[in-house]
Chain A
Amino acid sequence: MISIKNLHASIDGKEILKGINLEVKAGEVHAIMGPNGSGKSTLSSVLAGNEDYEITEGSVDFMGEDLLEYSTEERARMGIFLAFQYPIEIPGVSNMNFLRTAINETRESRGEEPIAAKDFLAMVKEKSALVELDNSLLKRYVNEGFSGGEKKRNEIFQMAMLEPKLAILDETDSGLDIDALKIVSHGVNTLKNQENATIVITHYQRLLDYIVPDFVHVLYKGKIVKSGTKELALELEEKGYDWIKEEVNA
């Protein structure tokens, strides 16, 4: 589905990603772990098309297309979804209005008719139930006054509405209590199928008890320095990152 080769990216002249290689196939869940400042969030921003970052080297193939050639909205319409670590509050823009616009512009780009109001409402009802998001929140402005947990559930709700091919969850678990974590994980697991893929970026192994990865990668100093299966995550939880740092720095 996505093939990242030797990806280098920098911001304000400072190189953050220093040659990322990653291959994710349809139906797979990949976890990317790593200490603070290793480049995890940069990777997700770059894949989503954040123009603050400059790509200096490498390539990203997404379903046969050169992803880096496309704008943020084009990538979203192609099926890339980024669940933000810090979802933005947008006063004055209602959740529903925003989502309907997002869905209709995506449909328009595919030459499809706008979604019928009835179908949209039915879809909202079904998908919001998935993450137990209260209907009153949907009518409110995007994320404004939402609790941390509500914001993250709103991200997964949007993901459910937009039905992406590749979902990138950037520290979706950070700040969540165990109940919210279960709800979010349940949502992600329900949406998973053989046609889509998920990249889970996290600091903590805890999330991976609920969203079970096929592969675990360790990102350090802008590179993937170790890959393995879910057992690697357990090892990291137990031993921390120091042994990896030592291996790399040796």
Chain B
Amino acid sequence: MSSTLTTNKVEEFVSHIAENNLAVWNELKSIRQSGLKAIKSLKFPTTRDEYWKYSRTTKITKNHYHFSQLDSIKGDLSKVKIEGLDTYEIVMVNGFFNAELSSLPKNDIIEIKSFEECTTEELTSYFSQNLDTITNFFSALNTAYFSEGIMIVAKGVCDKPVHVIHYSEGNNVISQPRNLFITEKNAELSIIKSSINQNTENFFYNSVNEFFIGENSHMNYYVIQNYEEGMNVISTNVATQEKNSNFSAYNYTLKGDWIRNNTNIFVKGENCESNLYGAYQPKGKQHIDNHTIMDHIMPNCESNEHYKGTVDDKATGVFNGKVFVRKDAQKINAFQSNNNILLSDDATMNSKPELEIYADDVKCSHGSTSGQLDEEAVFYLQSRGLSKESATALLIGAFLGEVVEKIKLPELKDKVLEMYGME
């Protein structure tokens, strides 16, 4: 009985979204139908599901949403610009590509095209390759009803980073962008993802990005999350690495009411390097959840993961990092660490580092710490004339700064340091 009810809830939720006929529905019918098929067999996740144990999704699923294509926007995109850094820009408004606001490359090194322009072969070789649409409701939802999608292919060493700017505006709007990023053999590409929202209430942003890092190629993916109120965000990123490749994913969360990031890397070739860095600082009643999977399938690879956060007021932080070392993945060096500082008695941090090793010749470590600010250090700084607030800010900056310093683009690093209130 209860199962029938739950299914009805999902159907009702989806029917409101489906009522808005998506323009590109027909062209991508087979892909969307695979998502739709998955949704039909799924229920909304609950905290009884291990994957969603610390993040309640009812605040998302209790509402009804519609897609909203805007002719003009109220927000100012210039605030996410990175001073001194020249980039290509892809602007997506409520999940739909906006050509007017974008500035695309005009060369043979980077190819950017919409899914409608892609061949069936291109789409099927990259779409939903390692995306878990079987059990993850929100990945399936995006697959069935992604608003629009873009494929970005780097064929060589790109001269400028690609800055993808996601703009959100409206009440009870759903935005489901879907992008594919590909570096072909020997290519190099840096991607920056920024977000802006204005006049949002009950806005549900559910994005999926898939990354394919070809042989001997390099890709860096930087995410800056700095949301104003009214946004619930699920951001899913799935990367697949071929041999001798290098992929780094950086996630910096400044603020946001409710955010869940899933970042999963599958290493399918030898001699790869993978890096995962993140910082978060939830305050007030914010909820910031980072889930990662680092899956070593092949031998002779290295991965480094470091997430750091400060949790203040009544906010909640979640970190769940899973490292797999499969049976054939010998000679793996895999490091994972999560450090947290709780700044208030009412703050909550749930940290769960997990390591599953099936190979016998590997070097792996993982660790998690959650503590308070070093009171002795605060006193030391105060004894030199710094106010308690400045001393605290300086120490938090030093703590989170360690993972911000990992950013390889100096101009972007300066911007993120400034956003966190560091020098």
Given A90-B398, A93-B398, does the pair A73, B385 have CB atoms closer than 8 Å?
Answer: yes
Is residue B108 within 8 Å, beta carbon to beta carbon, of the partner chain? no
Asked if A90 contacts B385 (CB within 8 A), the reply is no
Task: Encode B392-408 as 1/0 by CB contact (under 8 A) with A.
Answer: 00110111011000000
Is residue B376 within 8 Å, beta carbon to beta carbon, of the partner chain? yes
Question: Measured between alpha carbons, how far is A77 from B390 in the docked complex, in Å?
Answer: 14
Question: Measured between alpha carbons, how far is A105 from B236 in the docked complex, in Å?
Answer: 44
Is residue B47 within 8 Å, beta carbon to beta carbon, of the partner chain? no
Asked if A93 contacts B382 (CB within 8 A), the reply is no
In-complex Cβ contact of A72 among B376, B382, B394 (8 A)? B382
Contact partners of B386 in chain A: CB under 8 A = 73, 98, 101-102, 105
Contact partners of A98 in chain B: CB under 8 A = 381, 384, 386, 394
Closest to B423 in A: A97
B-contacting 9-mer, from A35-43, A81-89, A194-202 = A81-89
Given A90-B395, A90-B398, A92-B402, does the pair A72, B390 have CB atoms closer than 8 Å?
Answer: no
In-complex Cβ contact of B385 among A84, A88, A92, A105 (8 A)? A105
Closest to B394 in A: A93
Is residue A228 within 8 Å, beta carbon to beta carbon, of the partner chain? no
Is residue A50 within 8 Å, beta carbon to beta carbon, of the partner chain? yes
In-complex Cβ contact of B387 among A91, A105, A158 (8 A)? A105
List CB contacts (< 8 Å) of A95-113 with chain B.
97-99, 101-103, 105-106, 109
Is residue B358 within 8 Å, beta carbon to beta carbon, of the partner chain? no
List CB contacts (< 8 Å) of B368-423 with chain A.
374, 376-377, 379-388, 390-391, 394-395, 397-399, 401-402, 423
Give the interface size class of chain A: 20 to 34
Asked if B402 contacts A73 (CB within 8 A), the reply is no
Contact partners of B397 in chain A: CB under 8 A = 92-93
- Closest approach, in angstroms, between the C-beta of A116 and any C-beta of chain B? 17
Across the A-B interface, how many residue pairs have beta carbons closer than 8 Å? 73
Asked if A88 contacts B376 (CB within 8 A), the reply is yes
Is residue A76 within 8 Å, beta carbon to beta carbon, of the partner chain? yes
Given A98-B394, A101-B390, does the pair A77, B385 have CB atoms closer than 8 Å?
Answer: yes
Question: Measured between alpha carbons, how far is A209 from B387 in the docked complex, in Å?
Answer: 37
Given A92-B399, A97-B423, A101-B394, does the pair A48, B383 have CB atoms closer than 8 Å?
Answer: yes
In-complex Cβ contact of A49 among B383, B398, B402, B423 (8 A)? B383
Given A97-B423, A101-B390, A105-B390, does the pair A72, B398 have CB atoms closer than 8 Å?
Answer: no
Given A91-B398, A92-B397, does the pair A76, B382 have CB atoms closer than 8 Å?
Answer: yes
Interface size on B (CB < 8 Å)? 23
Asked if B385 contacts A93 (CB within 8 A), the reply is no
List CB contacts (< 8 Å) of A159-191 with chain B.
162
Is residue A135 within 8 Å, beta carbon to beta carbon, of the partner chain? no
- Closest approach, in angstroms, between the C-beta of A94 and any C-beta of chain B? 9
- Closest approach, in angstroms, between the C-beta of B117 and any C-beta of chain A? 47
* Chain A binding surface SS class: helix
Question: Measured between alpha carbons, how far is A229 from B376 in the docked complex, in Å?
Answer: 35
Is residue A71 within 8 Å, beta carbon to beta carbon, of the partner chain? yes
Interface core residue of A72, A82, A103, A141 (most chain B CB under 10 Å): A72
- Closest approach, in angstroms, between the C-beta of A47 and any C-beta of chain B? 10
Question: Measured between alpha carbons, how far is A88 from B388 in the docked complex, in Å?
Answer: 16
- Closest approach, in angstroms, between the C-beta of A112 and any C-beta of chain B? 13
Question: Measured between alpha carbons, how far is A93 from B391 in the docked complex, in Å?
Answer: 10
Question: Measured between alpha carbons, how far is A102 from B383 in the docked complex, in Å?
Answer: 9
Interface core residue of B374, B380, B394, B399 (most chain A CB under 10 Å): B380
Contact partners of A71 in chain B: CB under 8 A = 382, 388
Question: Measured between alpha carbons, how far is A103 from B391 in the docked complex, in Å?
Answer: 13
Contact partners of B388 in chain A: CB under 8 A = 71, 73
Question: Measured between alpha carbons, how far is A76 from B398 in the docked complex, in Å?
Answer: 23
Question: Measured between alpha carbons, how far is A103 from B381 in the docked complex, in Å?
Answer: 12
Contact partners of A106 in chain B: CB under 8 A = 385
Asked if A102 contacts B423 (CB within 8 A), the reply is no
Contact partners of B377 in chain A: CB under 8 A = 88, 90
Contact partners of A50 in chain B: CB under 8 A = 379
Task: Encode B129-155 as 1/0 by CB contact (under 8 A) with A.
Answer: 000000000000000000000000000
Closest to A78 in B: B385
Contact partners of B390 in chain A: CB under 8 A = 101, 105
Contact partners of B383 in chain A: CB under 8 A = 48-49, 72-73, 75-76, 81-82, 84
